Amino acid sequence: MRKKDPGIHCTRQSIIDPFSTIAKRRNFKEISIAGITEEANINRSAFYYHFKDKEV
């Protein structure tokens, strides 16, 4: 059985936390993937590796 890579959890969490921060300031429709990735300081491909879109 393969072990889970702890780096994946950290990256996923590094997307969720900034999204939560942005969601407190803006309406859901105003939040963009670009805004999330900028706040999380990651590139778009890292976002899409973990999530299909912002609604997931």
Tell me the mean pLDDT per 10 residues along the chain, length 56: 56 91 95 95 93 88
Query: What does the pLDDT read at residue 11?
Result: 81
Q: What is the pLDDT of residue 5?
A: 56
Residue 8: predicted pLDDT = 60
27 in Cβ contact with 54 (< 8 Å) = no
Topology (CATH level 3) of domain 9-49: Arc Repressor Mutant, subunit A (1.10.10)
What is the residue extent of each domain of the chain?
Answer: 9-49
End-to-end CA distance of the chain: 27
Q: How many Å apart are CA 39 and CA 17, to the nearest integer?
A: 9
